[in-house]
Amino acid sequence: MLELATVFAATPLKYPVRLVAFDMEEYGLLGSTAYAKQLKINQQPLRLMLSLEMLGYRNSASNSQSYPALIKPFYPDRGDFITLVGNLTAIPDLIRLRSKISRSGTPCQILPDPSSGKLVPITGFSDHRPFWEQGYRAIMVTDTAMLRNPHYHRATDTIDSLDLDFLTGVCQSLIEALKTI
């Protein structure tokens, strides 16, 4: 997020950008829920909300990636990509961002969720969900967390368990992709 702030301060995007670090995600999405509700109450327009959620773990081994049964047949079994999860209104952005991220060198999958987390609950496990609930276009950018990373929420979840080259590539690709919307 700090790298995004540095880049977008020097080269602003077409739309205003707010970089917000929400608290209390693990305790019920409290920070993002309060923020999304306040935007709605104040009738604030929002072009797109991006939730950066677990971005730096990669494993290229076969069967290193798992999924909920409903979506498993549609995605690769190697955990070496980034995923964009969005609600129905975000589908055009999902497609555009995936294309640019992939062309920038980071393998990217998309998961459009027209049910906003009702059919596949794990798609709503982060700070983007309150924005879905308020009717905003929102996308979670993720390495899929617990579906790939054996260190997720464990004592072994340390910086040395991450692939920093992958994380750098994700950040650089995301910056290039965001310039296109």
**pLDDT values of the chain reduced to their tens digit, one per residue, 181 residues:** 999 999 999 999 999 999 999 988 888 899 999 999 999 999 999 999 999 999 999 999 999 999 999 999 999 999 999 999 999 999 999 999 999 999 999 999 999 999 989 989 999 999 999 999 999 999 999 999 999 999 999 999 999 999 999 999 999 999 999 999 8
pLDDT in tens, 116-139: 899 899 999 999 999 999 999 999
List the beta strands (DSSP E) in the chain: 49-53, 82-86, 108-112, 138-142
Does 29 reside within a domain?
no
CA distance linking residue 165 with residue 121, whole number of Å: 30
Please tell me the total count of domains within the chain.
1
Cα 67 off chain centre by: 16
For tokens 């579906």, the residue is 147
The domain in which residue 143 lies consists of: 46-178
Whole-number pLDDT of residue 26: 81
Asked if the structure places residue 38 within a domain, the reply is no
- Residue 30 within a domain: no
pLDDT for res 28: 85
For residue 105, the model assigns a pLDDT of 95
DSSP 7-38: HHHHS--SS-------S-GGGTSHHHHHHHHH
pLDDT computed for residue 170 by the predictor: 97
Separation CA 56–CA 131 (nearest Å): 24
110: part of which helix (H) or strand (E)? strand 108-112
pLDDT of residue 144: 97
Domain for residue 35, yes or no?
Answer: no
Give a yes or no: residue 97 inside a domain: yes
Residue 37 domain-assigned (yes or no): no
- 94 belongs to a structural domain: yes
Per residue in 74-100, pLDDT tens?
A: 999 999 999 999 999 999 999 999 999
Distance CA 154, CA 8 (A): 33
CATH number at residue 65: 3.40.630.10
DSSP 173: H
Q: Is residue 84, in this structure, part of any structural domain at all?
A: yes
